[in-house]
Every structure is written in structure tokens, then in C-alpha cells.
Structure 1
Amino acid sequence: MNKLDRKNRTRFKLKKVSSRKRLSVFRSNNHLYAQIINDEQGTTLACVSSLEKSFQNKKNKSKKELAEDLGKEIAKRSIKNGIKEVAFDKGKYKYHGIIKILADAARAGGLDF
């Protein structure tokens, strides 16, 4: 199964079954991105990225530590906007490694999924 098929299958199931907001994660070779998306309106409600200045001074940290910090920050920002229940969209990635660490940190930060 290729990554595009996995991504499309995951998103289709989330949009069809869940009426919750979607916590979408993207991983590049160097950076991590997470955003809370309202699929009904097609808008981004909260986002966090390792490119932000608050995370740039943490370049000496490992990717796992950075993923944990991003998970806590996206949880903090979404709760500030009144969003506690989300559906986790791992996209084309396996629920493993830094994706799992980010999800666990977001759960520990107060998000419910």
C-alpha cells in the first residue's frame, strides 16, 4: 500500500465518521507541523510548527523532544480556543516514533482523542 492511499483512507474515515475537529500532523525531513482543522468550514483553528521562533532556540533538542513540546503546545493552543475533543489525523504516517510521541503529549496536555 502506498502512502497516498493510506493518507486518503485515513482522512476519508475521519471526515465520514467523526464530527470532531481534526488534529492533522505533517512531518518533513527537518520540521514538524500540527494543526487543528474544522472540516465543516474548511478553516484552521490552531497551528504549531517547529519553524516558529519559540522552537528555533531548541535546535539542540532531539526530534523526539521537539515532538513532545509541539504536542503540548498544540494542546495548549486548542484548549485556549475552546477545543478539547479532536480526531487525530496521522496522515500517511504510521502511528509510530515522533508521530506517537506528539499524539501522547497532546493527550497529556488535555486533548481527548
Structure 2
Amino acid sequence: MSKPIKENINFEDLSKIDVRVGTIESVENVEGSNKLVKLQVDFGDFNRQILVGMQGERENPQEIVGEQALFVVNLAPKKMAGEISEGMLFDIGYESGITPVLAQPEKPVPNGTIAG
């Protein structure tokens, strides 16, 4: 069963979210967590460490190394399991109860390309 559509927001709210394309350079398990992995992501002009609850969702999280994906880059940093996350990976499926897949551009674009 699908979930109901969330409450409407206005364009101004949406324009506050900075979504950019980045290439996942590495994936490491977060020590002391049975869920989190640490991504190192290249956004062209900058790199970020982004934590994702991916352990157990994928048989081999390493399969996403080298892939481009969409990330929120202006989310306030958050400490989880002793590590700092500097953004959020957009994935597709988790909220719908299916194995998540990356939200990706249809073809390679320069790292740091802004979505919207």
C-alpha cells in the first residue's frame, strides 16, 4: 500500500534545499554501528562525508563506489555513532518498503551539478 502524499509546500521552501550530484569515492562501515556506512563523496569543488543507514539493505555496499547520485548538501551536520554526517543521500524505495536504489542522473554530469 502506498503512503499518502505529504502536505503541500511552497516553491520558496523547496528552493532552500541544495541538491547536487556527487560521485561516491568510498564506502566504509561505521565502527560501533550495525546500520551506518560512511560515504566519501566528491562534489567537484568540495568533498563531504555522508553517513547512510545502508548496512543490511544491500548485500554489498561497495557496489556503489564510483556511482554518481543526488545528495542534499546544505543539511546541518549531524553526529551519529561518533561520526559527523555532512549531508544526505537521496535514495528511492526506503519509505516505500523496498530495497533502496540510488537516485541518479540518467547520464554522467560534472560533480557538483545542481538539481532543480
Q: What TM-score do the two structures reach when normalised by structure 2?
A: 0.24
Structure with greater strand share of residues: 2
Structure with greater helix share of residues: 1
- Find the structure with the greater CA-based Rg: 2
Q: What TM-score do the two structures reach when normalised by structure 1?
A: 0.24
